[in-house]
Amino acid sequence: MDLLKIENVTKSFANHVALDDVSLSIPEGSIYGLLGPNGAGKTTLLRIINRIIAPDSGRVLFGGKEIAAEDVCHIGYMPEERGLYKKMKVGEQAIFFARLKGMSRKEATEKLKAWFQKFGIEDWWNKDIGELSKGMAQKVQFITTVLHEPKLLIFDEPFSGFDPINANLLKEEILALRDKGATIIFSTHNMSSVEEVCDHITLIDKAKNILSGNVNEIRHKHGSNIFEISYRGEEEALVKAMTEVCEVMESKPAPKGYNTMKVHIASDAEVRRVIAAANDSVEIRSFSEVIPSMNDIFIRAVNGNL
């Protein structure tokens, strides 16, 4: 069952179109990656889901019904730009945000104490946010986002600004929330973080949904006929030879050891021709098929080569 469904949403601002007829559906209990380069329209879509702005046309269904004001209590949103009141005590501030999401003061206090204990930050309760470091403040922000146990959690660039240890802690917590039944949307341009955790993705570029689906399916569907060549010889010569017979995806010269290059070959029949061409220009050390990373797919999709 789909918890959230976006149907033909279009939104334009004074000078540009931010979303052009975007549709997607997010299954309940999944971790959903919303990918795309900067300025593609991800944040606009998240704001529409949060009812911060209204779409020009199209609709958003939450749990099968058109999303309404009451539904924001079931959504937790951590925007890319984190913000807390600098001159307010951590505890009071967290209670304030919880109450805005419809929790009572008592309930919020109890749950907050539990979370603070879990993160080992009980003694921050009476500190001003201004006294905390950026990473510490982000932990508080995370807690305020998930405290009201929303059905839908939306994280915009969640790992930016976290050190690797805390980023990992955060990832664990997010997976734990998913296991408890929450549906999670990740918005990011950082592909490696997506591959590990996301079940489904949508790729948005220039206001359009250009690729949607299950991560494994996408990788296999678009992962055929990608080969990695490692070789000794001149990079330029190989690039020149390869562009004639196939598509060069990535070329990494290595000062020590072998240079490598990734290519996409249009059809199985071409493989032998490509190998022959490569063999003519450089000394091949290995030639093997690879399953592409999401990053490869992302770049090929954005460049219009899928």
Partner 1 sequence: MKNKIGIIIGREFNERVRKKSFIITTLLTPLLMLGLMAAPMLFAEYSSSEGKKIAVVDESNAIAQYLQSSDEIIFEQTELPIELARQAHSEDFAILHIGKEIMTNPADVRLYTNSAASITLEMNIESQLKMVIESMKLQQQEIENLPAILASVQTDVKLQSFSNQGSSEESNAKANSSIVATVIAYVLSFILYMFILLYGVMVMQSVIEEKNSRVLEVMVSSVRPMEMMMGKILGVASVALLQISIWLLLIFGVGYFVLPELIPNEIAMAVSMMQQGASPEALGAEANMSLIQALATLTDVGYLLKITASLIMFMVGGFLLYAALFAAVGSAVDTPQDAQQLQTPITIPIILSLFVMLSVINDPTSEIAFWFSMIPLTSPIVMMARIPYDIPAWEILLSLGLLIGTFIIIAWAAGKIYRVGILIHGSKPSFKELWKWMRYK
Q: Which residues are at the interface with partner 1 (CB under 8 A)? A: 14, 47, 50, 52-54, 56, 69, 72-73, 75, 77-79, 81-88, 96-97, 99-101, 141, 144
Tell me the three state secondary structure of residue 38: coil
Provide the b/e sequence for 203-240 (b: ≥16 CB within 10 Å).
bbbebbbbbbeebeebbeebbebbbbbbbeeeeeebee
- We find the least distance from the C-beta atom of residue 78 to partner 1, in angstroms, to be 8
Query: From the CB of 144, what's the least distance to partner 1, in Å?
Result: 8
Nearer Cβ to partner 1 (97/298): 97
In the complex, minimum distance from the CB of residue 99 to partner 1, in angstroms, rounded to a whole number: 5
In the complex with partner 1, which residue's Cβ is closer, 99 or 208? 99
Residue 217: what are its φ and ψ, rounded to 5°? Answer: -60, -45
Q: Tell me the closest approach of the beta carbon of residue 93 to partner 1, in angstroms.
A: 9
Nearest to 244, CA basis, from 222, 266, 268, 229: 266
What six digits make up the tokens of 39? Answer: 């300025």
What token pair was written down for 60?
A: 């958003």
Cβ at position 113, least distance to partner 1 in Å: 20
Between 10 and 212, CB nearer to partner 1: 10
CB of 100 to partner 1, least distance (A): 4
Residues 6 or more apart whose CB falls under 8 angstroms from that of 62 comprise 3, 4, 68, 71, 74, 152
Q: CA-to-CA distance for 240 and 248, rounded, in angstroms?
A: 10
In the bound state with partner 1, the residue whose beta carbon lies nearer, of 73 and 284, is 73
By C-beta, is 78 or 301 nearer to partner 1?
78
Distance (Å, whole) CA 210 – CA 224: 19
Which residue type sits at 243? T
Sheet of 17-27: strand order equals 17-27, 2-12, 57-62, 65-66
Q: Toward partner 1, which CB reaches closer, 54 or 165?
A: 54
Nearer to partner 1, 100 or 291 (CB): 100
| CB of residue 77 to partner 1, shortest distance in Å | 4
CA–chain centroid gap for 218, Å, is: 15
Task: Please state, in angstroms and rounded to a whole number, the distance separating the CA atoms of residues 278 and 287.
Answer: 10
